[in-house]
Amino acid sequence: MADSNRAGKSVEWHALDDTELITRLETDTHMGLSTGTAAQRREQYGANRLTEAKGRSPLVRFLLQFHQALVYILLAAAAVALFLQEWVDAGVIMAVVLLNAIVGYLQEAKALDAIAALSKSLHSNNTILRDGEKIAADSAELVPGDIVLLKSGDKVPADMRLLETRDLKIDESALTGESVPADKATGRQPADRALADRNNMAYSSTLVTYGTGLGAVVETGDHTEIGRISAMIAATDTLETPLTRRITQFSHYLIYAILILAALALALGMLQGKPIVDSFMAAVALAVAAIPEGLPAAVTIMLAIGVSRMAKRHAIIRRLPAVETLGSTTLVCSDKTGTLTQNQMTVQEIVTADGRYQVTGAGYAPEGDIVPLHGDVNSRALIQTLISGRDCNDTSVRFEDGLWQVAGDPTEGALIAAAGKAQDLPAPANRVDALPFESEHQYMATLHDADGKRRAFIKGSIERVLPLCADALSSTGERLPLARAAMEQQAEDLARRGLRVLAFAQIDEPAFDKLSHATLTGGLTFLGLQGMIDPPRPEAIEAVDACHAAGVGVKMITGDHVLTATTIARQLRLLRGGEDNRAVTGRELDAMNDEVFARTAAQACVFARVTPDNKYRLVQALQAQGQVVAMTGDGVNDAPALRRADIGIAMALGGTEVAREASDMMLTDDNFATIRSAIEEGRGIFDNLKKFIVWTLPTNGGEGLVILLAILLGISLPILPVQILWINLTTAILLGLMLVFEPREAGIMTRPPHPPGTALLDAALLTRIVIVSVLLCIGAFGLYEYELLTGASEAQARTVAVTVFIIGEAFYLLNCRSLERSLFDVGLFSNPFIWVGISAMLLLQLAFTYVPVMNTMFSTAPIGLDSWLRAAAWGFVIFAVIGAEKAWRRRGGGSASQQGAGARA
């Protein structure tokens, strides 16, 4: 067998004529392959399944959690503490490191899930020819050259070139994004024809919905179109989220500062003649003070709480960082079918000889009205058009699992739903014969018997049905002369608006008892036209407008036809005045160089007839321009782009398992409007994360300043490393985490997203962090020295210093509930969890101070009420200073953060 494709040279199988195809495959359409030949080819090409890449072992994935700059510093600090036999300090540091590693390991997504799902989607049983006999074979056993017989309900087992078809329709939506099953044919086609338009091919994992066919397997396993997508998924790196990138950058800066300061502390201690052990402990204390140990765990917990919130709004988060990414999203690239649209064909207009009607409602539910635009709603022609669509039909619509679902052709399901919206239609008449739809004749016919009277219904393309009609039915039931030109014009008008048009006709009291094409040569009465489309979701239109108002762009990227995509885009207001008023096709994208491609990606709003490569490249181009891209999709063809995007969003109801496994988030209602809600929720979580970071960093800053000042003055450390860990971890969990429950601030969806590439904290917020750090240092160091001067022990003085940090952070937490507004504007009790956290923290601090076991573990001692009052007074000073600073900025002295209109006083 010729094997040029496996050697790297792609074969355009759709462009070969049948004889050349059979010759290259060395097969026989009547006999198939012999058992021996099939075995040889299976040995040569392998099984018809996707190769699963080998991933890292669980142990390696766990160890990689320690591969972080800040963790290395903590591990080094723990090693020094162990060397110095400071067992408690070393134990607490190691517990923190281990906790972060466990949390990171548990929330890491399995990299091979999407590949495994693809492999599962390939498995099926099919009928093939082997040694001239029809046999049932597992899809994994197929090889190039096998002859496969297809029938309705079959999953296509491999990429195949079709050699025989009879009314064959295949649902390729998962691969191409086309909303209706593709009609298949035979014969060679142009080499440059796009994948979605190659109707002489059947592709692996697609589904036969109607008719029969016979084809030759041309590609199997990794060499199929779905195999190419699998390879793209495997080769695609998931990107760090915006916050992760900023925290990583912050970590790098921090590690340099820690190393320099720790070395400086060690050198100063040695120059001052201190024992080496004390100098090492001072350096360790400085390192521990500078590292926000609670930050990774707190961020993870905050994101996890955000996950539960989003689940209530129909968004299931598969990767925790996706919560934060939603808040930074600048652009949503959405699939059309099923996300922006219903993924349910819906009749929207009906035209008769003397009437025109609008049909409301959407989907397969028999809910809606038929509104006359011109004519009578009780028109006989309208009623017969609806009855014809319902009865000349092989599909059923039923209510299951809370949804109206179609069993059969979506187009026929739309006709049944339209008939269900009419009042008092007679029950379906008994069918006595039927002529199925055939591509050659472009119509379907049924013969019915009702109360001894016979009637034949015909539905099909207007090009085929209209020439068979002699007259037309009027609204009163009379026969009218058929205005052919006017009906053709009406059909063209519907088609120009992206609607799929079917024509309907009938024959009363036919002279025949059996249907045949020979009996349907003329004399029909024209009933009307029905125009249908997969309509946009009403809530999606509002959601698109809301995204635009929030500064989030929306682009439609679909595999569907250009006209359909353009029509839906206009209804969604994605195409407006002043914009390029057409869709850019995948073929046009393929012909562009990188510069033109990048410009088109930025400027165009609608992309149609795109391939998986196009989608992936569009996401890459947009990310290269600094966009934070959210990509939605439900098909196999969407998986590489979903994985590449900053956040991949899959459909839980109608999506493929492959798309779900490649995603970061799933929509349980498959609704674009949920994305808008998720972005709003994500922005709220992002704001609260930012508040947490602004709140937690002064703790580390203040601790570091206290240690540095003690080293410079050559005195004992006012706070020990183990006490610093106590402050950092307990306040992060009991105080800082309460910020996650802050309500979203007003106007959150009327401000632009945080610009990509800009610093997380602006100059004003950095200034605030420095002010609070200095105030904490002054309070802790000053009261430590005061306690020693008034006769307190060193343990008591250190306990007071720790208490200053605890109470100071509690007061500052109230300032951080809004980065610009005052506590009284926000509302004292609008977040009751703040007070729960402060109360719990104070109770824990009492145990830290007075419980003997805690005194032993943390080198603390009981203190008097006056010491508590002095610490509380200094905490109030911090609250008042920051309150005044915010008030000054609100009056025009500066901007603390771009919180939007709702965050400004």
**Helix, strand or coil for residue 48?**
coil
Indicate the DSSP class of residue 341.
B
Cα(626)–Cα(756) distance, integer angstroms: 6
* CB count in 10 Å sphere of residue 657: 17
Length of the chain: 905
Cα 742 to chain centroid, rounded: 25
Cα(658)–Cα(650) distance, integer angstroms: 9
* CB count in 10 Å sphere of residue 519: 17
How far, CA to CA in Å, does 223 sit from each of 201, 427, 855? 15, 51, 68
State which H helix or E strand residue 167 sits in: strand 159-171
CA 875-876-880 angle, 5° bins: 125
Question: Which strand ranges, in their side-by-side order, compose the sheet holding 331-334?
Answer: 315-317, 665-667, 647-651, 629-633, 331-334, 553-557, 606-608, 584-585
Q: Using N-to-C axis directions, what is the helix angle for 763-789 and 794-815, rounded to 10°?
A: 150
Can you name the residues that pair with 171 across neighbouring β-strands? 207
Active-site entry in 171, 335, 534, 687:
335
* CB count in 10 Å sphere of residue 204: 29
Q: Known catalytic residue: 335?
A: yes
For residues 16 and 203, is the Cβ–Cβ distance under 8 A? Answer: no
The residue written with tokens 């068979």 in the block is 468
* Assigned token pair, 701: 């800053």
For residues 798 and 814, is the Cβ–Cβ distance under 8 A? Answer: no
Cα(284)–Cα(172) distance, integer angstroms: 62
Indicate the DSSP class of residue 49.
S
**Which residue in 517, 407, 406, 411 sits closest to 456, CA to CA?**
517
Cα(665)–Cα(672) distance, integer angstroms: 13
**Helix, strand or coil for residue 431?**
strand
Can you name the residues that pair with 533 across neighbouring β-strands? 346
- Here the contacts of 618-621 (C-beta below 8 Å, separation 24 or greater) are 618/333, 618/557, 618/589, 619/333, 619/644, 619/645, 620/644, 621/597
Write the CB contacts of 443 (distance below 8 Å, at least 6 apart in sequence).
437, 458, 459, 460, 461, 464, 465, 520
Cα(834)–Cα(504) distance, integer angstroms: 67
Question: Residue by residue, what is the 3-state secondary structure of 420-485?
Answer: HCCCCCCCCCEEEEEECCCCCCCEEEEEEEECCEEEEEEEECHHHHHHHEEEEECCCCCEEECCHH
Catalytic residues: 335
